[in-house]
């Protein structure tokens, strides 16, 4: 059995046994194909520390914009992106070991060190302007207001929001969503979010299953269809410009605002982790900078008072 055959088996394993999304499987396929093509490995034994190191050197020199005419086309792949390849390769090597194939131990592959993650944040004033940007009682404005309110109330990822169906129970203050790794978590609806979603649904006269659909011109049935994450990103960007926000604003920025709002108001990190659907607490710890100001205030108020 060739390495390509084993790669196909591994991808099937990811989708069926591990329950990974189709998009994740496609990404892993692309990463592994690129490694196999570069290393010319034909069998598991051909994956060696040397071949992986050579591949990493090659990746590190690749342009982040292949074929681009942009001025910054010499920019190389970010280390975080390079790590995606290594994570896929380690998972593949673990699969090979479980199947009894002799190959490189996955523990031999260390990920590249990346700098602290930078959060794109907007101020509470900017958030207020953004939330107020969809004006009017037309279908599009009602839909976009519902999208904004639902994002800020739940901290949903854009893919999770786009996957929602319209049969949500607005009499309840909570709903279940299926997130990364097919894991289900509970999120909570604010009164503003419920009110906005209800107003939007009351306006709809179609039978489309999706909660958020393209309104289209004149909103005929043929214009229906579930909004894609890219469409929602464009919607948020348009309202950010309308609200006079010069920073880059995406659905994920609203997710950041959701998390920081909770922490600033006293929520603990574990609770925020559960609400965001983070598998690991270290992912949530990127938000701990929010508590820094509070800690400074505590230090200023209580430290060194006995000294003169």
Which positions are catalytic? 157, 180, 252, 255, 278, 287
Which helix H or strand E contains 8, and what residues bound it? Answer: helix 3-16
Q: How far is CA 161 from the centre of its chain?
A: 11
- Dmax (CA) of the chain: 79
Q: Which of 242, 278, 238, 243 is nearest to 155 (CA)?
A: 278
Q: Which two tokens stand for residue 36?
A: 């196999």
Cα 217 to Cα 139, 140, 154, 187: the distances in Å are: 10, 10, 30, 33
Rounded Cα distance, 150 and 125, in Å: 18
Please report where in the chains the tokens 């659907």 appear, as a residue: 277
Helix (H, G, I), strand (E, B) or coil at 121: coil
Which helix H or strand E contains 186, and what residues bound it? Answer: strand 184-188
């Amino acid at each position: 059995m060739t390495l390509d055959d084993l790669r196909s088996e591994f991808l099937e394993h990811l989708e069926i046994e591990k329950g990974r999304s189709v998009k994740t499987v496609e990404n892993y396929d692309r990463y592994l194909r690129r490694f196999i093509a570069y290393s010319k490995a034909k069998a598991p034994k051909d994956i060696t520390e040397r071949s992986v190191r050579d591949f990493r050197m090659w990746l590190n020199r690749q342009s982040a914009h292949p074929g681009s005419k942009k001025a910054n086309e010499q920019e190389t792949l970010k280390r975080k992106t390079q790590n995606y390849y290594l994570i896929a390769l380690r998972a593949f090597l673990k699969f090979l070991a479980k199947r009894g194939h002799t190959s490189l131990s996955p523990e031999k592959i260390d990920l590249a060190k990346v700098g602290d993650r930078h959060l794109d944040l907007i101020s509470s004033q900017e958030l207020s302007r953004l939330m107020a940007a969809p004006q009017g009682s037309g279908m599009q404005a009602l839909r976009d207001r519902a999208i904004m309110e639902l994002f800020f109330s739940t901290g949903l990822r854009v893919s999770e929001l786009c996957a929602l169906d319209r049969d949500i129970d607005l009499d309840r203050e909570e709903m279940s969503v299926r997130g990364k790794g097919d894991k289900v978590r509970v999120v909570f609806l604010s009164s503003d979010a419920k009110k906005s979603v209800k107003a939007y649904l009351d306006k709809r006269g179609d039978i489309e299953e999706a909660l958020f659909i393209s309104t289209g011109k004149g909103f005929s049935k043929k214009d229906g269809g579930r909004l894609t994450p890219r469409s929602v990103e464009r919607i948020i960007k348009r309202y950010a410009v309308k609200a006079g926000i010069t920073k880059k604003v995406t659905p994920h920025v609203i997710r950041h605002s959701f998390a920081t709002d909770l922490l600033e108001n006293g929520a603990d990190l574990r609770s925020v982790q559960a609400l965001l659907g983070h598998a690991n607490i270290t992912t949530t710890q990127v938000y701990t900078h929010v508590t820094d100001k509070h800690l400074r205030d505590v230090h200023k108020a209580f430290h060194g008072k006995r000294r003169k």
